[in-house]
């Protein structure tokens, strides 16, 4: 393996922490991830394994362009942290990366929380580094848009209760 590319997006969040992580576990809402640029949206997602402890849960993801991958929850701290390994990418992404790691974290601020999502893309070599750098530009925008959408949807749902 050659290298990695990491980026972080963040949004200010003013609701209870549980709503962020509950939104992730609502797999029927994963299709709200619409992608951006060269990054496809999610068409559907299904549990292969759903662990009671959340850690070890495995999800099969089909994207809007026909590509697919798996996501495994490898770490979870209730209402504060989530770590996901994305792997088993279909071609052509599988040529360039063995896996990605995504992290969700809430950090307490004076007024609310900072909701951070970080992504690390691991590469298979020098040429892969270049391709993943291009992918990371669109992926960062896609994740920023989705993070803002998730927070907005939580706010709307709570206002309508």
The domain tally of the chain equals: 1
Q: Which domain holds residue 28?
A: 4-159
The Cα 153–Cα 133 span in angstroms is 30
Exposed/middle/buried for 14, CB within 10 Å: 0-12, 13-18, 19+?
Answer: exposed
Structure confidence by residue, pLDDT tens digits, 15-45: 988 999 888 889 999 999 999 999 999 999 9
CATH number at residue 68: 3.30.530.20
Which residues, including other chains, have CB under 8 Å from residue 139's CB and lie 6 or more apart? 7, 36, 39, 119, 121
136 near 121, Cβ under 8 Å?
A: yes
Check pLDDT > 90 for residue 83.
Answer: yes
Check pLDDT > 80 for residue 146.
Answer: yes
């Amino acid at each position: 393996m050659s290298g990695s590319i990491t980026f972080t997006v963040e949004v200010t969040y003013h609701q209870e922490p549980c709503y962020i992580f509950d939104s992730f576990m609502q797999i029927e809402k994963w299709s709200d991830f619409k992608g951006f640029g060269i990054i496809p949206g999610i068409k559907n997602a299904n549990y292969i394994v759903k662990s009671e402890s959340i850690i070890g849960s495995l999800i099969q993801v089909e994207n809007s362009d026909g590509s697919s991958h798996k996501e495994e929850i490898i770490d979870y701290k209730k209402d504060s942290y989530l770590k996901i390994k994305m792997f088993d990418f279909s071609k052509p992404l599988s040529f360039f990366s063995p896996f990605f790691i995504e992290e969700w974290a809430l950090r307490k601020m004076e007024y609310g929380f900072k909701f951070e999502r970080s992504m690390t893309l691991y590469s298979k070599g020098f040429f892969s580094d270049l391709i993943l750098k291009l992918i990371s530009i669109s992926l960062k925008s896609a994740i920023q848009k989705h993070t803002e959408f998730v927070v907005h949807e939580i706010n709307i749902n709570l206002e309508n209760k």
